[in-house]
């Protein structure tokens, strides 16, 4: 393939995924300017590695892998230390005695609080939530991007959701959206 | 729930697959049959669905045009590193 054809195929395959890359970068860095830089670094790294891309394979997953590796090597070290997670503070799923067993309170929580909860997740949990629940990547693509087994993706996702649900539930209780569990309605 | 094709563990382990449309009609029917009889699993399924819908409701900001232009310029100027 000529260099011109290679650039053309890169642009055709990679540029449509800029939206996904930007959103993932934004959630990983939590800073728009840093997300810009991370996306640019990713695309430069990607075009230089384009010869190693298998035509017909999943360009989005390939790009997310590069972005995530760039984040780990160049960005994560600048961030805060990983958050400690108190698994004992994570509530059990609702039961039929719950004041809001169908989770209607989630819809009442403001975007800022949801984003803050996602941003406060430890990196290993945040990245699976972003890739699965926000970007809707298949488990296999997430596993490839993070270089972990599909089973680990599922288990991290399960824990990440519980952590988020716990935090959002506490917020809903503290702000009076729902009464605390065990309290008469 | 032993007379149902799926037990609670099987149902809760496949909620994501159900939401993602990855199950066969037979599996979907088995999931539905279980949840019609099991309030606990039905409750968890609705709770999870409400949670995921809330995450998705935050919207999907597109890549800003300025960043697209920066990427295009960076790619055009790239000499291979």
Tell me the three state secondary structure of residue A91: coil
Mean pLDDT value across residues A11-28: 94
For position A1, what pLDDT does the model report? 57
CA–CA min distance B2, chain A (Å): 20
Complex-level ipTM: 0.82
Nearest CA in chain A to B55: A134
Residue range B19-34, pLDDT digits in tens: 989 899 999 999 999 9
Task: Spell out which residues of chain B touch residue A156, defining contact as CB-CB under 8 Å.
Answer: none
Task: Spell out which residues of chain A touch residue B75, defining contact as CB-CB under 8 Å.
Answer: 7, 10-11, 43-44, 47
For position A94, what pLDDT does the model report? 75
Nearest CA in chain A to B58: A111
For position A99, what pLDDT does the model report? 81
Tokens of A21: 């890359």
How many helices (H) and strands (E) would you count in chain A? Answer: 8, 0
Tell me the three state secondary structure of residue B74: helix
Tell me the average pLDDT of chain B.
89
The secondary structure element, H or E, covering residue A172 is: helix A150-174
Are A19 and B70 a contacting pair at CB < 8 A? no
Percent of residues, chain A, with pLDDT higher than 70: 84
Dihedral, CA atoms, A159, B59, A15, B73, nearest 10 degrees? Answer: -110
**What does the DSSP 8-state code read for residue A104?**
G
Positive or negative torsion for Cα A169, B1, A158, A90: positive
Interface-testing mutation among A15, A36, A96, A106, with chain B (most B C-beta atoms within 10 A)? A106
Cβ contact A180:A166 at 8 Å: no
Task: Spell out which residues of chain B touch residue A40, defining contact as CB-CB under 8 Å.
Answer: 67, 70-71, 74
Are A22 and B70 a contacting pair at CB < 8 A? no
For position A16, what pLDDT does the model report? 94
CA A4 to mean position of chain CA atoms? 34
Tell me the average pLDDT of chain A.
86
Are B61 and A22 a contacting pair at CB < 8 A? yes
Closest of A77, A76, A71, A65 to residue A148, by C-alpha? A65
Residue range A30-64, pLDDT digits in tens: 889 999 999 999 999 999 999 899 888 889 999 99
For position B5, what pLDDT does the model report? 80
Which range among A40-44, A107-111, B5-9, B51-55 shows the weakest confidence by mean pLDDT?
A: B5-9
Cβ contact A59:A50 at 8 Å: no
For position A101, what pLDDT does the model report? 84
Residue B59 reports pLDDT greater than 90 = no
**B77 touching chain A per CB within 8 A:** no
Buried b (16+ CB within 10 A) or exposed e, B26-37: ebeebbeebbee
A90: left (phi over 0), alpha (psi -120 to 50) or beta: beta
* Gap between the Cα atoms of A167 and A89, Å rounded: 9
Residue range A69-118, pLDDT digits in tens: 999 887 666 655 556 666 666 667 777 678 888 899 999 999 999 999 99
Residue B79 reports pLDDT greater than 90 = no
- The DSSP annotation for B57-69 comes to TT--PPPPHHHHH
CA A161 to mean position of chain CA atoms? 11
Mean pLDDT value across residues A118-137: 92
Task: Spell out which residues of chain A touch residue B47, defining contact as CB-CB under 8 Å.
Answer: 93-94, 101-103, 165
């Amino acid at each position: 393939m000529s260099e011109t054809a290679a650039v053309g195929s890169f642009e055709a395959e990679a540029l449509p995924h800029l939206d996904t890359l930007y959103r993932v970068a934004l959630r990983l860095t939590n800073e728009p300017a840093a997300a810009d830089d991370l996306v640019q670094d990713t695309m430069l790294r990607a075009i230089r590695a384009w010869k190693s891309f298998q035509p017909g394979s999943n360009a989005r997953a390939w790009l997310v892998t590069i972005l995530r590796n760039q984040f780990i090597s160049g960005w994560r070290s600048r961030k805060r230390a990983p958050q400690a997670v108190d698994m004992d503070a994570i509530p059990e799923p609702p039961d039929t005695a719950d004041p809001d067993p169908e989770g209607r309170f989630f819809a009442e929580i403001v975007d800022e609080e949801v984003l803050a909860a996602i941003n406060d997740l430890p990196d290993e949990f945040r990245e699976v939530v972003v890739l699965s629940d926000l970007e809707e990547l298949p488990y296999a693509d997430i596993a490839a991007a993070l270089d972990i087994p599909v089973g680990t993706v599922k288990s991290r996702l399960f824990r990440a959701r519980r952590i988020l649900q716990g935090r959002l539930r506490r917020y809903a209780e503290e702000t009076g959206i729902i009464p605390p569990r065990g309290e008469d309605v | 729930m032993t007379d149902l094709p799926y037990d609670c563990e099987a149902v809760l382990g496949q909620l994501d697959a159900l939401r993602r449309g990855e199950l066969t009609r037979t599996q979907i029917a088995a999931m539905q049959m279980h949840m019609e009889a099991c309030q606990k699993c039905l409750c968890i399924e609705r709770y999870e669905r409400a949670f995921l819908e809330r995450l998705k409701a935050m919207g999907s900001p597109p890549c800003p045009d300025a960043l697209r232009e920066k990427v295009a310029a960076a790619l055009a100027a790239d000499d291979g590193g």
